[in-house]
Each structure stands twice: as C-alpha cells, then as structure tokens.
Structure 1
Amino acid sequence: MVEDIDPHIIGITESWATPDISDAELGMTGYVMFRKDRLGRRGGGVILYIKESIQAYEIKLEKEAECEEAVWCNIVTGNSTLTVGLVYRSPNISMEENEKIHNAIKEVSKRDCIIMGDFNHGHIQWTSLQSTGREDQEFLNLVQDSFLSQHVLEATRGENVLDIVLSSQKEFVDNVKICEPLGCSDHNQIHFIIKVKGERNRKIRYRKNFHKGRYKDMREYLAKIDWNNTLKNKTATECWNILKSEIDCVVDKFVPLKKQGKRSKKKHLSKEAIRKIKYKQMMWKTYRHTGSEEDYSIYKEALNQATAEIRNSKRSYEQKIAFNIKHDSKSFYAYVRSKQKVQDKVGPLEGSDGNIITEGFLMAENLNEYFSSVFTREDISILPVLETKFEGREFDYLGQLIVTPTMVAMKIRDMKDNKSPGVDGIPPKLLLEIVEQISIPLATVFNLSLEEGIVPLEWKEANIIPLFKKGSRNKSENYRP
C-alpha cells in the first residue's frame, strides 16, 4: 500500500504494539513514527507515520485530556500549524477514559485540526446526524458543539461507520475514499487528501516596476517613429505585431526590474503596534534574564498593551480596505486570500479514462476540452448573404466607421492605472503614460481591423481561470471558466 500510494501520513489503530516491541521493528523508511501503546492489556494502541519531509512534532494535551490510546502531532504548513490526531476508542471503554477523549477533542478543536481514528460509535447516522445510543448521542453533540465536520459517510466495518475523520474546517479534507481492508483487518481503509497551505519554494523572481519607469525617455523614443510609413501596406495583425514589438522594446529599455518573492510586510500593523510588539519582546528577554516577579509583571502589562494595539490596528486596516473597495478591490481580495486556511487550487482532475491527472499542463488541457464541449459548433462554411439596403433619411445612413486617434486617447484616459495587465502584459499605467505616442498606431490597427473584418490573433487570447462551483474538485464539470 505504501509503495503504491506513497502517502504523506499513515494512521493505524489497534496496532497491538507493546512496549517490548522496539521502534526499529515498527518504523518505516522515509517516515517519522509516533506511537501510543496500550499498557497492561492486549490489543489497542495507535501508530502515526508522517513523512520525514514534513515538519512535524508530537504535542501533549492538558492532563484531563491525556488519552490512553491517542497521539497528537503538530504539522507546520507554511506559516501556520495543523494539529493531526489519531485516536482509538475501545468499545469497552471506561467512563473516565471516554471523558478524556471528549476533553481532548474539545481542546484540539479550538485550533486548525484533523482528528481521525476508530471511535466505535456505530449507531450514529452521519448523513442525517441522528443516533440511538446515549454515548453515541453525546459524541454527536460533542462534534456539533465543537463545530467539527465529519467526512466519512460510508460504512467502514460491516454496515457501521466506526472509523471517522473530523476537521475544524470542512475544506481541509477532500476526496474521501473507502478502500478494501488491509491484510487480515476487518476494517476498510480510508484514503483522503488534506488540503492546507504548504511552504512554497521561494525563488527570486523579477518583474517590471512600472511605477519607476523613465516615461519621458520612453515618450521621446516613440515620438521619433514615423508610424505612417512603418505601418504602410500592412494588415491589422501585422500592424499590431509591429506596435507591440516597439512597446516591448521601450519597456525593456526604460522600465527597471524589481525583486519579487520576498515576504510582504504585515500591512495591518500600524507603527504604534510594531513599537509595542518590540517593547513586549524586549521585556520578555529582560524577564528571562532576571527571573524577577516585577519584570514579569512589566512584561504582562506590555503583552496586554501590544495585544490591544494589534487588535485595534487590524480593525482599522480592515475598515480602511472595506471603505476603499470600490477604488481598490485588489487590496481587499488580497487580504481575504491571505486569511484563507486552504489554497483554492484546481485538481487533481479525473481524466476521461478514469485516471487522475496531476500535471498542470494536462489539467489545463482537460479543462479546456470540457469548457469547449459545452459550446455548440456551427457550420460556418455556408453563411447567409445579407442584403445591403437602407430605408430612411439619407443623413441617418451609417457610413464608413472611422476610429480617430482622439477617440483612442479618450478611451485610454478612462482606464484605471491600478488594474492588472492582460495576456499582452501591457498595464494601463503604461498606456496612460504614452497615450499621445500610441494613439495614432492604435487607431490604424482598429481601422484596418474594421476594414478587413479580422481581429489580431493576440486579441483573441485570454487568461482563463477555472472557478470551482460545487461537488468534487476532481471533476472537470464542477468548474466554470
């Protein structure tokens, strides 16, 4: 199973391991093992395997939540932490141990978490959220009161759902599959995907800094071009390609590069909040050095002041971006995305042959094929001939449509300079700076396009972003362009 699937995390309940069995006998190459054996009796026990490439460490809960057969680990994912717990609840569990499991779930559910295991609550109907037994009803109430989502809806042993997966956010778990039992076990395997933000490989990238462009030099360069001769006897597509080439040339010459990929500053923190955070940190170091109660009191006061200032600063920042959403929606949505615990990404997707597609290019092809299939393909080889006739006053007749440089310049000046560029990579900021120099060649391109009835090929290209609707994220039909 491990060789076929290569899972990042493996949880085993009823391991039947005992303290006299060494870690070397139970360990697996490439995984860090966390185990909790049943003491004094046969059976039970849990083992959690986490890949070595994942930063993980075991944690201890409060004393009243220390379960006999459960293990808890923190997994570091990017800038956040996910708690993963593996629990075995015996069908013959004592009231005291059952209470500890409940306390553990209450404690862990206050953070980002995934709790899985064999809980032996076979009388809970998870689809209707109903139960018949007292203990089952208490557990169901606990799950609901803790705002946890339960993802296993099919039977895992016989006709009962004994093995479950709980998460603090529904989006953390996806693509749950009930698979055949492993070895001589009478419980089905549960396979699922954990979706959390991971640490990206931060490469130093560069992009053009249009806010520091040498636009005076750029305008002088473009003003020297004789567009009438340059674009003479050219098609609309050829004219656009020439114009685009000249624009790319001046961008390379006069727009500097800037590094991209550094962690952005926490914009919601005011200068006063940063000052109080630094003071709090300094007081903590002082207390650690002296160990005096007086310094600890000073630190606690600094901590409270910093916490209050952070809260006020965050509230002010959120009010500011909400107030400016009409003029600067980019900042609003960037802030919302930064608060999402789960990356809203596409796939993996299921291909037409049933196989899972993970490669980006192939997923794009799969989505493109589906999006294209929902449109009707008409036969354009035979088109009706439109009769040219006009009924009305002569001065109402629409003659030849001419686009003037003045009309082009007016449209460009209506653009907002903080909008993102399209596929051509030309931002509105650049167009606004060189509007007088490019309005003539752009008008030429528009007029030729109207005359030929052909749009330049590059104008037909667009960035298509698949938006998830509902259902499984592995199905192409659950996305829209």
Structure 2
Amino acid sequence: MVEDIDPHIIGITESWATPDISDAELGMTGYVMFRKDRLGRRGGRVILYIKESIQAYEIKFKKEAECEEAVWCNIVTGKSTLTVGLVYRSPNISMEENEKIHNAIKEVSKRDCIIMGDFNHGHIQWTSLQSTGREDQEFLNLVQDSFLSQHVLEATRGENVLDIVLSSQKEFVDNVKICEPLGCSDHNQIHFIIKVKGERNRKIRYRNKFHKGRYKDMREYLAKIDWNNTLKNKTATECWNILKSEIDCVVDKFVPLKKQGKRSKKKHLSKEAIIKIKYKQMMWKTYRHTGSEEVYKEALNQATAEIRNSKRSYEQKIAFNIKHDSKSFYAYVRSKQKVQDKVGPLEGSDGNIITEGFLMAENLNEYFSSVFTREDISILPVLETKFEGERV
C-alpha cells in the first residue's frame, strides 16, 4: 500500500506487479496508468503511474526496440517533451531481449529523457565506473556512449545497486534518496526530484458558499425586474435563457466564492497511524547508519498493524453511518475503483501531438465525422401510389 507518499510519477516493477495485487489495492487514484504485462509467464509487469494533472502519452518503438517489460511515455513540458521510461531487466534475460533494451535506450537517449528501473547489473561500481562481467561492461559502455548520467550510488538491494535512474542531462534529477522498502518488497524505494518545467492542466477551482448567501438582497433584486415586459412575446427557449441569465447574475452578486482546497487522500489513517509511519521512517534512517535491523523491523510491524487497524475502523465507521452520511461511504467506494484512462493527448493527422482540450475535441470530431455517409439528395425517387380513392 502506498500510504505515506504523494509523488507525481510512480514506477513499479517485478514482484509488486503480480496479478495477485489489483490496481485498486495499490491505491493509485488520481493517476493515469501505463502498463506492460509479462507475456507467457505467470506474474510480473511494469506499471508507470503519472498524475492526471500532467499531460502524458505512451510511445511505441520499432520491433527491434520493443522490450517485453518496459513502458515509455512522453511528458509535455512547455514547448518540448520529456521521455520517461520504466524498465525491468530480468537476471535470466535472453540475449535477444537484452539487445532490445539496449536499442530502446539508444533511441531514447537522443532526446531529453529519464530512464529508471531494475536493471540487475549489480557488479557495476558507479562511483568509479568499473565493472566485472561481460553483460555489466556492455551496459556500462552503453550508458557512457549514450552520454547518460546515473544518479543512484547507494545500494538498493542488499549491498548491490540494482535499481538505477538515468538521465540525458545531469541537472534533470536532483535530491536522490534511498528509502525503506515498500511493504514486503526486498528492494529499497528511490525518491528523486525531476527538475523540468511541466505543462500542467490543473486549474484553481472555486465553489459557491450558498449557506452564506445574501438571500434578502437577492429577493429585492429580483423583485425590481418587470418580468411581464421582459418575457413578453418570447418563446419558451428565450424565456428560459433570460431566467437562467438573471439567476446566474444574482448568484455571482450575492453568493460568495470559496477556493476549493485539495482533498485529503488519507482519511482512513488515524493520527496514531501517521505517527507510526513517521517513526518507521526515522528508524529506517537509523538502520541505514547503524545497521541495527531489529528496531526498524519492530517499527515496521507496528506501522503496518496500525495502518490495517485504522483502515478497518474507518471502513466500519462509514458503513455504520451510511444512512446518515451516504456521501462519505460512496466517495470511499469510488476511490477504490480501478484507475480510468483519460482522453488525450492525441496525435493529429499531420503527426503532431495535440494537448489542448479544444483542439483535441476538434480532432475527435473530424475523425468520427469522416465515417459519415453523404447521401445524394439531388435526385429523389418517386413514391409509388399504393391506394387510390376518395378521402373520408
């Protein structure tokens, strides 16, 4: 469960993507999911979650660079794009699949990119740029020949650096932190900041505070309108438009606005659970410096148990109060639904990527209207008379 982080991009590889774990259980609401499932074998896939507020779309490569367990996306960053890739390279990978990964990295490195994942090259010393073994040396040569920077220098599983972050420009990645494993995974988390200017479609939203509306002033304003003359000789549609316009006007004048804040996604976590999570993180840092694992494991078990108890108590509470507060119950149920794909960005007929809402709507309208059949109505057939006689 991703309980205590709220990143903009999340990459999940290997055992965390087994079929036993559903998308809803991972708790990735508010994200767009890009995934690549392992074919022909049980379990395993790579999943890349990108926040809905970020314009992103998946890209494909030619057959010689189409990896079995890798997903690639373009993120719109102002007037340019940043390619983000998530790769899982199995330790038992075939030569053909290994070559595809190398081809994909060569292709992506020609543009602004960030590549992350579990590559299982544990014998590379990234501080000195030395390695042992043919495959490790080939990968190190690939990274250097592609002018990529590798940012993870601490061990991510045991004493090995298996999970890495590559970037085409060193300044793209900052503040890399190795954090405690997520759940029962044996790999440490990697947190880092991507320093690019993103094009985000998040807008500040406001809502009316009707409970603080000045309804006395509203009635006086509406009473001054001569409705008989205003609506005289008007059609039903025209009357409705006038009435709607006046209602909108009085709402804007006499009902104050309130900026919509960001809703908490941790309602099911009690204060005790949040304290336990923070304590677990502190003990992880202590374990990394001292090597004392017992204290961290105890804190981890306590945090896990408290999260489960807090979630169970919250679910029982909203289920018990469903008759009085059905809104909270159904909001929680909706939050557990699977991630829904959003529309766009789209590729236009000229091959350019369209990200603006109006242009995407126009593009979809043009595409679907192209299949409409245009009938020739200049020459219409004459209907054959079936009945002859006088009308009654």
Task: State the TM-score, normalizing by the size of structure 2.
Answer: 0.50
Q: Distance in 2 between matches of 1:75 and 1:352?
A: 20
User: How much has 1:43 moved relative to structure 2?
Assistant: 3.6
1:36–1:46 CA contact under 8 A, matched in 2: yes
Partners in 2 of 1:106 and 1:183 — Cα distance?
A: 34
C-alpha separation between the residues in 1 aligned to 2:347 and 2:81?
30
Measure, in 1, the Cα distance between the counterparts of 2:215 and 2:224: 14
C-alpha separation in 2, matches of 1:59 and 1:260: 34
Secondary structure in 2 matching 1:16? helix
Q: Distance in 1 between matches of 2:184 and 2:162?
A: 17
In structure 2, relative to structure 1, the CA distance for the partners of 1:6 and 1:157 (3 Å cut) is same
User: Shift of residue 347 of structure 1?
Assistant: 32
> Is the contact made by 1:34 and 1:47 (CA closer than 8 Å) also made in structure 2?
yes
**Contact 1:16 1:42 survives alignment (8 Å):** no
Checking the alignment, whether the CA contact within 8 Å between 2:59 and 2:73 is kept in structure 1 is yes
CA positional deviation for 1:5: 2.5
Structure 1 gap ranges (5+): 393-479
Q: 1:366 to 1:20 in 2, by over 3 A?
A: closer
Taking the aligned partners of 2:124 and 2:233, their CA distance within structure 1 comes to 78
Change (3 A) 1:352 1:225: same
CA RMSD, 1 decimal: 19.2
Q: Does 1:42 align with 2:39?
A: no
Q: Secondary structure at the match of 1:320?
A: helix
1:79 & 1:302 partners in 2: Cα distance?
A: 46
- Of structures 1 and 2, the one scoring higher in RCO (CA 8 A, sep 6+) is 2
Instruction: Call closer, same or farther: CA 1:376–1:246 in 2, change over 3 Å.
Output: farther
CA distance change for structure 1 residues 28 and 210 in 2, over 3 Å: closer, same or farther?
A: closer
The 3-state SS of whatever aligns with 2:4 is helix
1:77 Cα deviation (Å)?
1.1
- Separation in structure 2 between the aligned mates of residue 170 and residue 129 of structure 1, nearest angstrom: 16
Structure 1 residues 374 and 312: alpha-carbon distance in aligned structure 2, compared to 1, 3 A threshold = farther
Q: Which segment is superposed worse, 187-196 or 2-11?
A: 2-11
Q: Is the 8 A contact 2:24 2:337 kept in 1?
A: no
Asked whether the equivalents of residues 74 and 83 of structure 1 are also in contact (C-alpha less than 8 Å), the reply is yes
Q: Choose 265-274 or 121-130, whichever is displaced more.
A: 265-274
Superimposed CA distance per residue, residues 247-274 of structure 1 (whole angstroms, 9 cap, x where no aligned partner): 9999999999999999999999999999
The Cα shift of 1:117 comes to 0.1
Relative distance call for 1:355 and 1:265 in structure 2 (3 A) is: closer
The structure-2 alpha-carbon separation of the partners of 1:239 and 1:134, relative to structure 1 and needing over 3 Å to count, comes to: same
Q: How far is the alpha carbon of 1:56 from its aligned partner? A: 0.5
Q: CA deviation at 1:177?
A: 0.3
CA contact (8 A) 2:155 2:161 kept: yes
Q: Which whole-Å deviations, capped at 9, do the CAs of 1:382-423 have from their partners, x for residues lacking one?
A: 99999999999xxxxxxxxxxxxxxxxxxxxxxxxxxxxxxx
- Following superposition, the deviation at residue 145 of structure 1 comes to 0.1
* Partner-residue secondary structure (3-state), 1:343: coil
Out of 200-209 and 307-316, give the one that drifted further. 307-316
Cα separation, 2, equivalents of 1:158 and 1:291? 12
Q: Give the superposition deviation at 1:29.
A: 0.9
- State the SS of the aligned residue for 1:317: helix
Q: Could you tell me how far 1:92 is from its partner in structure 2?
A: 0.2
How far has the Cα of 1:44 moved from its partner? 3.0
Cα distance 1:256–1:337, how it changes in 2: closer, same or farther (>3 A)?
same
Mapped to 2, the partners of 1:146 and 1:108 lie a distance apart of 9
Check conservation: 1:55, 1:76, Cα contact below 8 A: yes
Assess if the C-alpha contact under 8 Å between 1:117 and 1:163 holds in 2.
yes
Deviates more, 1:212-221 or 1:32-41: 212-221
Tell me what 2:143 maps to: 143
Higher deviation after alignment, 142-151 or 263-272: 263-272
> Is the Cα contact below 8 Å between 2:54 and 2:200 reproduced in 1?
no
Q: Which deviates the most, 25-34 or 236-245? A: 236-245
Distance of 1:175 and 1:381 partners within structure 2: 70
Runs of 4+ in 1 over 6 A off after TM superposition: 18-22, 200-294, 298-392
Aligned length: 391
Q: Which residue of 1 aligns with 2:273?
A: 273
- 254-263 or 43-52, which moves further after superposition? 254-263
8 Å CA contact 1:196, 1:341 repeated in 2: no
Shift of 1:114: 0.2
Matched-pair contact (CA < 8 Å) for 1:195–1:342: no
Give, in angstroms, the shift of residue 45 of structure 1. 1.4
SS of corresponding position for 2:15: coil
Q: Residues 385 and 309 (structure 1 numbering): CA distance in 2 closer, same or farther, change over 3 Å?
A: farther
Aligned partner of residue 246 in structure 2, secondary structure: helix
Gaps of 5+ in 2: none
Output the CA distance in 2 between the equivalents of 1:266 and 1:204: 22
For residues 42 and 323 of structure 1, the distance between their equivalents in structure 2, rounded to whole angstroms, comes to: 40
- Cα 1:345–1:12 shift into 2, 3 Å: closer
CA gap 1:36/1:220 in 2 versus in 1, 3 angstroms: closer
Q: Aligned to 1:40, what secondary structure does the other structure show?
A: coil
8 Å CA contact 1:156–1:188 kept in 2: the answer is yes
Q: CA deviation at 1:42?
A: 2.5
Bigger shift: residues 381-390 or 40-49: 381-390
Shift of 1:341: 35
CA offsets per residue over residues 56-105 of structure 1, 9 Å max, x none?
01100121000000000000011110000000000000000000000000
Displacement of 1:279: 64
**Contact 2:53 2:201 survives alignment (8 Å):** no
Task: Report SS of the residue matched to 1:185.
Answer: coil
Return closer, same or farther for 1:66/1:270 CA change in 2, 3 Å cut-off.
farther
C-alpha change, 1:141 and 1:200, in structure 2 (3 Å) is same
**Please, which moves more after superposition, 167-176 or 330-339?**
330-339
Q: Mark the CA change 1:244 to 1:157 in structure 2 (over 3 Å): closer, same or farther.
A: same
Instruction: Check the 8 A contact 2:148/2:167 in 1, yes or no.
Output: yes
Q: 1:96 to 1:152 in 2, by over 3 A?
A: same
SS in 2 for 1:3: coil
Task: State the 1:53 CA deviation.
Answer: 0.4
**Once structures 1 and 2 are overlaid, which stretch shifts more, 138-147 or 7-16?**
7-16
- Matched-pair contact (CA < 8 Å) for 2:212–2:255: yes
Q: Identify which range, 196-205 or 43-52, moves more after superposition.
A: 196-205
| Residue 18 to residue 319, structure 1, CA distance change in 2 (3 Å) | closer
CA positional deviation for 1:302? 67
Cα offset for 1:199?
3.5
Alpha-carbon contact 2:55-2:355 (below 8 Å) kept: no
Does the Cα contact within 8 Å between 2:32 and 2:341 map onto a contact in 1?
Answer: no
Q: Are the aligned partners of 2:149 and 2:169 in contact in 1 as well (CA < 8 Å)?
A: yes
Task: Tell me if the contact between 2:116 and 2:163 (Cα under 8 Å) persists in the aligned partners.
Answer: yes
Q: For residues 372 and 247 of structure 1, do their structure 2 counterparts lie closer, same or farther at Cα, with a shift above 3 Å needed?
A: farther
Over the matched positions of the two proteins, sequence identity in percent amounts to: 98
Structure 1 residues 56 and 324: CA distance shift in structure 2, 3 A: same
Residues 134 and 357 (structure 1), Cα distance of their counterparts in 2 relative to 1, 3 Å cut: same
C-alpha separation between the residues in 1 aligned to 2:99 and 2:324? 54
In structure 2, the residue corresponding to 1:10 is in which secondary structure?
A: strand
Query: 2: distance between equivalents of 1:110 and 1:147?
Result: 9
